[in-house]
Amino acid sequence: MRLGVVPYLNVAPIVHGLLTDASVELVRDVPSHLLDRLLAGEIQAATLPSIDYARAPEPLEIVPGIAIASRGPVRSVRLIHPAPVEQIRRVALDESSHTSAALLRILLRERLGRDPEYVTRPPELPAMLEEADAALLIGDPALFAGDDRPSLDLGREWTDLSGAPMVWAFWAAPPGALSGADVARLQASLGTGLEALPAIAASYNSPAAMELTRPTAGPPRAQLVAAFESYLRDNVLYRLGEDEIRGLLEYYRRAHGLGLIERVPELRFHGDS
């Protein structure tokens, strides 16, 4: 089973129980690439960005119960804005992002009553801010940016606006691509991961995280590990329950209202008759 997953800390509990499964290959790629790889048949399922589920040309099936979600601050989706938000005229969007980019358009239209100009760029903060008033970062680049300039946490902004959780991604696959046993393995993997958060935090490394462990760059490793575990435990929700589904549908409704998706999709779950 080949599975496409994002290369960020937030996916680690979801895939933790699969790491020793010889029948599973994890294909790591940024969120904005996963739908194309899924449609090309390169992978059987993916931790698919929520907006791309709605943009898929044919209906996909969701694995029940599992999401990358948040209710309130998420810390890993941030709009960094050195000037006041009300003065933003141009925004550089992280090219890795689809769901967060669409959410930012929703939030800024609501807050400003207008649309800034948007450009898509690699997630390199200094370069982004050289040509824009604000920069959207997601995943590890946002979580480990260590930037003390003002920023909006999009998870907090969404929950303040909607009163609901934000669902960033979930397992999705074409109909028939996953068996019932495959789905059970994915669900069991998350259960294993949630029981292993201290170990996941202690062993985690990424280019952004490793940059912070340099002696002159920031806090000692032990402090970072504590921050990693806090993020996984306190900021990310891994369930896809009734509240999360309500938030997901509200997100789709608002995205459709701005013309970001053609329709509010029907949510189809694996095992539905």
Q: What is the pLDDT at residue 208?
A: 55
Contact 89, 133 (CB under 8 A): yes
Question: Other C-beta atoms within 10 Å of 29: how many?
Answer: 17
Q: Is 27 a member of any domain?
A: no
- pLDDT 10s digits, 118-131: 999 999 999 999 99
- Average pLDDT over the chain, rounded to an integer: 92
- Domain assignment of residue 154, given as a range: 77-162
Q: What is the pLDDT at residue 219?
A: 64
Q: Is 243 a member of any domain?
A: no
* Antiparallel, parallel or unpaired: β 25-28 and 61-62: unpaired
Contact 107, 209 (CB under 8 A): no
- Packing angle, helices 154-162 and 242-257, rounded to 10: 90
Instruction: Quickly list H helices, the chain.
Output: 12-15, 31-39, 50-55, 99-112, 125-131, 139-143, 154-162, 180-194, 197-203, 207-212, 221-230, 242-257
- pLDDT 10s digits, 248-258: 999 999 999 99
Q: What is the pLDDT at residue 217?
A: 52
Q: Is 91 a member of any domain?
A: yes
Q: Is 13 a member of any domain?
A: no
Q: Is 41 a member of any domain?
A: no
Q: Closest Cα to residue 47, out of 55, 57, 37?
A: 37
Helix and strand element counts for the chain (H, E): 12, 12
Contact 88, 133 (CB under 8 A): yes
181 phi and psi angles, rounded to 5 deg: -65, -40
Domain count, the chain: 1
Is residue 140 predicted with pLDDT exceeding 90? no
Q: What is the pLDDT at residue 178?
A: 96
Q: What is the pLDDT at residue 168?
A: 97
d(CA 166, CA 138): 14
- pLDDT 10s digits, 28-71: 999 999 999 999 999 999 999 999 999 999 999 999 999 999 99
Q: Is 174 a member of any domain?
A: no
Q: Is 131 a member of any domain?
A: yes
pLDDT class for 159, splitting at 50, 70, 90? very high
d(CA 96, CA 49): 11
**Domain CATH code at residue 90:** 3.40.190.10
pLDDT class for 94, splitting at 50, 70, 90? very high
Q: What share of the chain is helix, strand, coil (3-state, %, to 5)?
A: 45, 20, 35
pLDDT class for 98, splitting at 50, 70, 90? very high
Q: Is 107 a member of any domain?
A: yes
Contact 32, 95 (CB under 8 A): yes
Averaged pLDDT for residues 103-116: 96
